[in-house]
A = this chain, B = another copy of it.
Amino acid sequence: MGAVKGSSPKTSKGTLGKDQFGEYLKHILRLEHVSSPVSTSALSESMKVAPSTVTDMLKRLAGKKLINYVPYHGITLTPEGEKLAVKAIRRHRIVERFLTDMLGFEWHEAHEEALLFENDISDEVERRLYSALNRPKVCPHGYPIPTKVEDVLVEEVTLYSLEPGEQAEVMSVKDDDPEMLRFMASLGIKPGVKVKVEVKDPFKGPMQTMVGKQKRTVGWHLANAVFVKKLR
């Protein structure tokens, strides 16, 4: 019953597969933005897998020419790898947007729901999804939907960096903690909202702020998960 099964296509040239490659690439791209080359331990922590697992994966990624891997000296993305990473991030954000805009999910659910099937849709579905959504510029958490590396990066001015009296617009928020997102939503913090710092306690203490027209107290952790653009 031979048939057409045998050799699987897999992650062939410019395609995202069912594997974890996309996930790894996403993390590498983000980490590289912080410090390049990326260390095994950084990836291990970020991916929440053992260092030995990472080393394994690096060898496979290197085999596919997606990363430059110098044992003991960290890795960088190859142009190919970078392209795929951007593609994976783009897809994730489009799917998130689909989940919130077309299916009515809350933003704290979108991230994890997207992870479930984003790696299995075809490029064509992604394209059509994007069109059907009206070619949005950002994901529900305010991050850009990129076409190239430069688009991925975001101004990382945190709410916490503001001083009393300063005003700003929320641009994006950390998207990986559903509980925090839920809480942020309850405070009215989301992309597009205007904030103004009134009081800032020392020693990483909480801030008294205006979120829109509401008085809100915001702790250090949360204030560091909110990215803003200063106004005036």
Contact = CB atoms under 8 A, between A and B. Distances in A.
A132 interface: yes
Nearest to A53: B1
Given A103-B132, A117-B117, A120-B116, A5 B48 contact: yes
A44 B1 contact: yes
Contact of A117 (B5, B102, B120): B120
Contacts of A121: 116-117
A111 to B, nearest CB: 13
A120 to B, nearest CB: 4
A48 B1 contact: yes
Interface stretch (A61-69, A122-130, A204-212): A122-130
Interface in A1-21: 1, 3, 5
A1 B49 contact: yes
Contacts of A120: 116-117, 119-120
A50 B1 CA distance: 5
A105 interface: yes
12 contacts: A1-B45, A1-B48, A5-B48, A5-B49, A102-B132, A104-B132, A105-B128, A113-B125, A116-B120, A117-B120, A117-B125, A119-B120
